[in-house]
């Protein structure tokens, strides 16, 4: 039962915010550009999130139809958004604000579930060893830099920080650890579950927050799996057992604010991805990267606004819905909630959509956006296709008659009320 709210919600907001938002060229900028601590420090010193408004953010998530929000407490660069006693590389020490506190309070006040993201990686910590992901990996003396670094001390630091987050902020519903990379590469070791003492960390999560969902990126199985920036093509299973899963997706390929990246996904593509996920029993966690002042960029606000308007009318086809064990027509995907079957139309056909196997099983069909009734008919067995009738469909097919004009929404949805099985 730990994930009941999660299965219900289906749609959440990811928020990547930190000093990299000031650099404004991807949250991995320190790694990509091999920046030293001194080169990275100006972004921290000039971190001034005067427009970071947790209440507005939580409200926006709610208006977009999302059921939970997940904030980066610390990303790989080690900068902490809460008042950690273990470091002065934090918003609390540098600007006197505990953004995690502001966030948790605001999200809870909107009635949404509270999620935290926490990086297992820490490029700022003096005991975190250089590996093939570390910004210092190409230094002339790179391996010498590991002398004196002690991962057991780092582990204690990591566990201590997670303990702070799980004890200081009330009930936390969700924790997204990021990430484990045990492979050796370019002559460097990676980092595996033992580097974090993943078992110990997970046990601590269970002890301190027994109802909290934990993702799979400790490198050991936990409560849900996290496809990143791709869509599965069927419900996820492992050894035949259905997996709880959530695809995390970006608006433009970057998680942190990336000013000059204009690879923005359309709102239409995003609602299709959302419906596609739910049709396979998955969730979608959609990211926004607030800008250097903590504001949502206008282009992102516009996209969220469009998604929210679609969700306002089509919420029932997403929230509380899941996989339907029926073959959808070629135009789209199905989701199901109780006796309601929803056909999400990725393309708008001319005049009719043919639904295999549904003849005699549907009592009512309507467009969800305006509740308008749709005529249905079943093909008579043996009826031949002619130049005037849409016959020739397999026996048992239900035909739904559609207006020529596609409803003016991002993605039209047909709601079908199913008769008892």
Residues that bind ligand GLC (CB under 6 A): 16, 27-28, 178-179, 228, 248, 255
Which helix (H) or strand (E) segment is 115 a member of? Answer: strand 113-119
CB of 241 to ligand GLC, least distance (A): 24
Residue 13 and residue 314: Cα distance in Å, rounded?
Answer: 18
Residue 70 and residue 64: Cα distance in Å, rounded?
Answer: 15
Residue 193 and residue 189: Cα distance in Å, rounded?
Answer: 13
Closest alpha carbon to 150 in 126, 182, 122: 126
Residue 71 and residue 116: Cα distance in Å, rounded?
Answer: 5
Residue 151: how many CB atoms within 10 A of its CB?
Answer: 18
CB of 122 to ligand GLC, least distance (A): 13
CB of 178 to ligand GLC, least distance (A): 5
CB of 293 to ligand GLC, least distance (A): 21
Query: For ligand GLC, which is the closer residue by CB, 77 or 102?
Result: 77
CA distances from 381 to 27, 176, 361, 385, 397 (A): 60, 53, 16, 11, 10
CB of 396 to ligand GLC, least distance (A): 43
Query: For ligand GLC, which is the closer residue by CB, 40 or 334?
Result: 40
The values of phi and psi at residue 31, to 5°, are -75, -50
CB of 201 to ligand GLC, least distance (A): 17
Checking 375-384 for CB contacts under 8 A at 24+ apart, the result is 375/400, 375/401, 376/400, 376/401, 377/401
Query: For ligand GLC, which is the closer residue by CB, 76 or 136?
Result: 76
CB of 308 to ligand GLC, least distance (A): 23
Residue 71 and residue 49: Cα distance in Å, rounded?
Answer: 15
Residue 308: how many CB atoms within 10 A of its CB?
Answer: 17
CB of 255 to ligand GLC, least distance (A): 5
Query: For ligand GLC, which is the closer residue by CB, 173 or 415?
Result: 173
To 5 degrees, how large is the angle CA 305–CA 169–CA 129? 90
Query: For ligand GLC, which is the closer residue by CB, 154 or 342?
Result: 154
- Can you tell me whether residue 7 is helix, strand or coil? helix
Query: For ligand GLC, which is the closer residue by CB, 274 or 416?
Result: 274
Name residue, tokens 């998680």. Answer: 255
CB of 377 to ligand GLC, least distance (A): 47
Query: For ligand GLC, which is the closer residue by CB, 31 or 399?
Result: 31
CB of 282 to ligand GLC, least distance (A): 15
CB of 179 to ligand GLC, least distance (A): 5
DSSP state of 175: E
Dig out the tokens for 146 from the structure: 């590991």
Query: For ligand GLC, which is the closer residue by CB, 161 or 399?
Result: 161
Query: For ligand GLC, which is the closer residue by CB, 178 or 415?
Result: 178
Residue 342 and residue 135: Cα distance in Å, rounded?
Answer: 48
Residue 345 and residue 404: Cα distance in Å, rounded?
Answer: 14
User: Which residues neighbour 231 within 8 Å (Cβ) at sequence distance 6 or greater?
Assistant: 247, 273, 276, 277
CA 61 to chain centre: 12
Query: For ligand GLC, which is the closer residue by CB, 119 or 379?
Result: 119
Query: For ligand GLC, which is the closer residue by CB, 16 or 136?
Result: 16
8 A C-beta contact, residue 95 and residue 81: no
- For strand 68-74 and strand 352-355, is the pairing parallel, antiparallel, or unpaired? unpaired
């Amino acid at each position: 039962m730990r994930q009941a709210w999660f299965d219900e919600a289906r749609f959440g907001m990811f928020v990547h915010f930190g000093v990299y938002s000031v650099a404004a060229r991807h949250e991995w900028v320190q790694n990509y550009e091999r920046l030293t601590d001194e080169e990275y420090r100006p972004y921290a010193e000039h971190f001034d999130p005067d427009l970071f408004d947790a209440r507005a953010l939580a409200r926006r998530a709610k208006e977009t139809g999302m059921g939970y929000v997940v904030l980066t407490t610390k990303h790989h660069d080690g900068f902490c958004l809460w008042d950690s006693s273990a470091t002065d590389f934090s918003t609390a020490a540098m600007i006197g604000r505990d953004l995690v506190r502001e966030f948790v309070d605001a999200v809870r006040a909107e009635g949404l579930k509270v999620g935290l993201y926490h990086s297992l990686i820490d490029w700022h910590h003096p005991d975190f060893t250089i590996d093939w992901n570390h910004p210092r990996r190409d230094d002339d003396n790179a391996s010498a830099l590991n002398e004196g670094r002690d991962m057991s001390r780092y582990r204690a630091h990591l566990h201590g920080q997670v303990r702070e987050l799980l004890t200081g902020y009330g009930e936390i519903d969700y924790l997204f650890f990021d990430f484990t990379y045990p492979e050796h590469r370019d002559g460097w070791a990676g980092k595996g579950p033992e580097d974090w003492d993943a078992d110990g960390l997970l046990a601590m999560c269970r002890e301190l927050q027994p109802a909290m969902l934990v993702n799979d990126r400790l490198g050991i199985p936990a409560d849900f799996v996290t496809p990143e920036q791709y869509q599965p093509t069927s419900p996820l299973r492992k050894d035949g057992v259905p997996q709880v899963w959530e695809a995390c997706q970006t608006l433009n390929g970057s998680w942190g604010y990336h000013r000059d990246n204009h690879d923005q996904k359309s709102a239409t593509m995003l609602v299709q991805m959302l419906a596609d996920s739910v049709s396979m029993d998955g969730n979608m966690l959609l990211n926004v990267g607030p800008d250097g002042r903590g504001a949502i960029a206008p282009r992102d606000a516009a996209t969220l606004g469009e998604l929210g308007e679609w969700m306002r009318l089509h919420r029932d086809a997403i929230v509380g819905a899941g996989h339907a064990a029926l073959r959808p027509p070629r135009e789209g995907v199905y989701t199901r909630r109780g006796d309601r079957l929803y056909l999400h139309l990725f393309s708008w056909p001319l005049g009719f959509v043919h639904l295999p196997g549904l003849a005699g099983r549907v009592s009512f069909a309507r467009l969800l956006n305006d509740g308008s009734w749709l005529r249905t008919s079943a093909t008579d067995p043996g009826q031949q296709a002619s130049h005037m009738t849409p016959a020739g469909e397999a026996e048992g097919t239900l035909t739904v008659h559609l207006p020529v004009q596609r409803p003016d929404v991002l993605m039209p949805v047909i709601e079908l009320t199913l008769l008892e099985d």
